[in-house]
Amino acid sequence: MAPSELIQNTLRHRRRSDVSGRVFYGLLIAAVTIAFLLVLVVMSDVVRGSLDLLGERAWGFLTSPSSSDQGKAGVVQGVRGTLVISVIVALTFPIGIGAAVYLEEYAEDNWLTRLIQVAVRNLAGVPSIVYGLLGLAVFVQSLRGLTGGSSIIAGGLTLAVLVLPIVVITSAEAIRAVPAAYRDGAYGLGATQWETIRTQVLPAAMPGILTGTVLSIARAAGEAAPLLVVGAAPYYTTGNNDFLEQLRGAFTALPMNIATFARLPAETWRGHAAFASLVLLVLVFMINLVAIVGRARIARRLGR
């Protein structure tokens, strides 16, 4: 018997006798199946609910504003609101990434830094409705002159604050995962700390940072509770206001559209809620896709 055969036989024998290992393997498969089935059920439910509308007036639904008339109601204002909110959230990412760079690269490891780190971690677990109250007090009331009250700027900034801790945590993790050899190499060639961070640490951490930030945009796109508190309007028109005035005017977002449709009388409005959910799912999926593609491109460019 050749040595390799011997090893394989032993392994096979071991595998057969490893009962707890196989039970654990079975449990893992079961967990994956359950998770997958749940996603499948949600997706099929949403798609089935929106079939009627999809056939009747899919494009009309995507391009109409909200209406009390089932034949005219649509989600264009919600799609627009969710996109603008995503942009506002994305514009605040430098703050989160900057905080992560400071915490990981500059801050000394003392009680203050640790306190800040613990606070950021706790903030990531605060229920979203609490951020809604914060947004109402700060962005709607105190900063009314800047945001124009219950506006999309106020809503976007509220959600930006909501995802900020997630951005800080994921970015910090990504920066921490950059091997110390990268930094040592740069320092060894005479680079300053900022040059090291800019040319070595950030590029290497970028795939991880990008994953975290885009996932947090997806999170912000799906939030309804804070927007409810900030004062999203279920119905509005824009009149003669230009784009900047609209930014400071009434707004809505896709999750608000879904909530409004779901609460209207008559069974036939359920289809509208289902279709709006489908639109939100597709939008979030597309945002995630951007993250995956972007990460793959950066990873390839870095040659890893």
Partner 1 sequence: MHKPLKKTFRTLSVLLLAMSLLATACGDDGQDASPDTPTTTTAASTDNSTVDNETVDPVSDLEGDLLISGSSTVFPIVQRQAEEFSAANPGVAIAVEGPGSGDGAVKFCNGEVPIANASRLYKDSEMETCAANGIEFIEIRRGIDGITVVTSSANGAIECLSFNQLYALISEDATGFESWADANALLAEIGSTAESLPDASLDIFGPGEESGTFDSFAEIVMEAVAKGKTGLDPESREFSTGIRPDYTSSPDDNIIIEGISDADYSLGWVGFAFGSAAADAGSVKMIPVAKEDGGECVLPTPETIASAEFPIARYLYTYVSVSAAASDPAVAAFVDYMMSDQGLEAVAGVGYVPLADADQQLAQAIWADRVTGRTWG
Nearer to partner 1 by C-beta: 135 or 249?
249
Part of the chain binding partner 1 (CB under 8 A), chosen from 32-40, 102-110, 164-172, 237-245: 237-245
Q: Based on the shown chain and the rule CB under 8 A, indicate whether residue 77 belongs to the binding site for partner 1.
A: yes
Q: Based on the shown chain and the rule CB under 8 A, indicate whether residue 47 belongs to the binding site for partner 1.
A: no
Task: Report yes or no: 294 and 210 within 8 Å, Cβ to Cβ.
Answer: yes
DSSP secondary structure letter of residue 142: I
Indicate if the alpha-carbon torsion angle 89, 95, 99, 105 is positive or negative: positive
CB neighbours of 133 closer than 8 A, spacing ≥ 6?
229
Task: Report yes or no: 291 and 210 within 8 Å, Cβ to Cβ.
Answer: yes
Q: Which of 107, 124, 234, 288 binds partner 1 (CB under 8 A)?
A: 234
Question: How many alpha carbons lie under 13 Å from residue 143 in its C-beta half-sphere?
Answer: 16
Angstrom distance (rounded) from CA 51 to CA 40:
16
Nearer to partner 1 by C-beta: 128 or 252?
252
Give the residue among 256, 292, 291, 263 at the shortest CA–CA distance from 277. Answer: 256
- Applying CB under 8 A, the site for partner 1 has a residue count of 51
Part of the chain binding partner 1 (CB under 8 A), chosen from 11-19, 71-79, 101-109, 123-131: 71-79
Q: Which of 14, 22, 48, 263 binds partner 1 (CB under 8 A)?
A: 263
Q: Which of 15, 199, 285, 292 binds partner 1 (CB under 8 A)?
A: 199
Question: CA-CA-CA-CA torsion for 241, 245, 246, 248, nearest 10 degrees?
Answer: -150
Question: CA-CA-CA-CA torsion for 141, 146, 147, 148, nearest 10 degrees?
Answer: 80
Q: Based on the shown chain and the rule CB under 8 A, indicate whether residue 97 belongs to the binding site for partner 1.
A: no
Q: How far is the CB of 85 from partner 1 (least distance, A)?
A: 9
Q: Which residue has the tokens 């439910």?
A: 45
Q: Based on the shown chain and the rule CB under 8 A, indicate whether residue 58 belongs to the binding site for partner 1.
A: no
Q: Based on the shown chain and the rule CB under 8 A, indicate whether residue 60 belongs to the binding site for partner 1.
A: no
Instruction: Kindly report the backbone phi and psi dihedral angles of residue 126, in degrees, each rounded to the nearest multiple of 5, phi listed first.
Output: -70, 135
Q: How far is the CB of 51 from partner 1 (least distance, A)?
A: 18
Among residue numbers 149 through 168, which ones bind partner 1 (CB under 8 A)? 150
Nearer to partner 1 by C-beta: 188 or 265?
265
Q: Based on the shown chain and the rule CB under 8 A, indicate whether residue 240 belongs to the binding site for partner 1.
A: yes
Give the residue among 213, 216, 238, 75 at the shortest CA–CA distance from 152. Answer: 238
Nearer to partner 1 by C-beta: 119 or 286?
286
Q: Based on the shown chain and the rule CB under 8 A, indicate whether residue 107 belongs to the binding site for partner 1.
A: no
Binding site for partner 1 (CB under 8 A): 63-69, 76-77, 79-80, 83-84, 86-87, 90-91, 150, 198-200, 202-203, 206, 231-241, 243, 246, 249-250, 262-267, 290, 294, 297-298, 301-302
